[in-house]
Amino acid sequence: MEFANVLLEKEGAVATLTVNRPKALNALNRDTLLDIKAAIEACRDDAEVNVIIITGAGDKAFVAGADITFMQEMNALEGREFGLLGQSVFSLIESIEKPVIAAINGFALGGGCELAMACDFRICSDASKFGQPEVGLGVTPGFGGTQRLPRLVGTGMAKQLLYSGDMIDAAEALRIGLVNAVLPVDELMPYVKKLAARIASRGQVAVRFCKVAVNEGMQTDIDRSMTLEADLFGLCFATQDQKEGMKAFVEKRKAQFVGK
Ligand code: CAA
């Protein structure tokens, strides 16, 4: 599938979506957001894709934010619509029942940090920089940053980053829990692809149920979320993958999952 602002490649059961506007440090205008949406929907609907990686083109940026040139002359209603569009695309990423990993290869600022935070988890290169610099432009974050950042790093650290607009480096992002691992630039994609392939080799119904359980569970009280976990756990016993996974363990061989 071809997109003007996004590359979509498949290797086995892993799809890599690359935001591809390197001259603008992969900044997000409306067309780029719509391309990301279409590419994610294509991955969602492709039964061969188990795991999605999102990264940025070039050697400088993951995504340097929403496109400031594009936003400059917007009125209030257009700003609201643009915010709602970005939010809906990122909520799609968060809610599709396939794991999405952010492979951050440089600046992840504003809408770029928000895109990374909508992914299930983040791995970055040691050259990466993170931040929500919107207050320096006279606006708040608009693609979920005020909501996902405190949920990831706690309200105190989130407020410091949101109010100051300061950038942090990869080591600090690791320390505050914004990313799970920091790799030398050359090792980033091989590491993420290997991890994605490992996830893609597991029982996919179970992997998807894990995503649903965590996402739903974090938005509800512990009693309800435990009930949800028990229901999903029980439902796994209706799958071929559960039969195969447990049989393979008992027979001391590698399981051959079919994702059903
Ligand atoms: N929007 C539009 N263009 C951008 C951009 C953005 N967010 N970020 C970078 N660019 C463009 C630059 O204008 C420049 O274009 P030209 O070559 O045509 O001049 C090109 O990308 C390269 O950028 P720089 O020359 O600035 O590169 P640098 O290495 O000197 O600086 C940077 C890199 C620190 C990331 C700097 O580009 C920067 O500060 N970018 C803006 C970051 C930002 O404020 N992001 C938040 C946007 S608002 C937002 O995201 C709102 C929201 O939540 C929805």
Ligand 1 centroid to 16 CA: how many Å? 24
Q: Known catalytic residue: 114? A: yes
Read off the amino acid at residue 50: N
Helix (H, G, I), strand (E, B) or coil at 20: coil
Ligand 1 centroid to 240 CA: how many Å? 49
Q: Known catalytic residue: 134? A: yes
Please write the tens of the pLDDT for every residue from 111-144: 999 999 999 999 999 999 999 999 999 999 999 9
Of residues 135, 182, 185, the one with CA closest to residue 160: 135
- In the chain, what are the domain boundaries? 6-200, 204-250
Entry pTM: 0.98
Q: Is the CB of 66 under 6 A from ligand 1?
A: yes
Residue with the nearest Cα to atom 20 of ligand 1? 24
The H-or-E segment that residue 11 falls in is: strand 6-11
Please write the tens of the pLDDT for every residue from 2-53: 999 999 999 999 999 999 999 999 999 999 999 999 999 999 999 999 999 9
Distance of alpha carbon 143 from alpha carbon 83, whole angstroms: 6
Beta-bridge partner residues of 129:
107, 169
Q: Is the CB of 27 under 6 A from ligand 1?
A: yes
What is the fold of 6-200?
Answer: 2-enoyl-CoA Hydratase; Chain A, domain 1 (3.90.226)
Q: Which CATH architecture has domain 204-250?
A: Orthogonal Bundle (1.10)
Residue 66 CA, closest ligand 1 atom number: 50
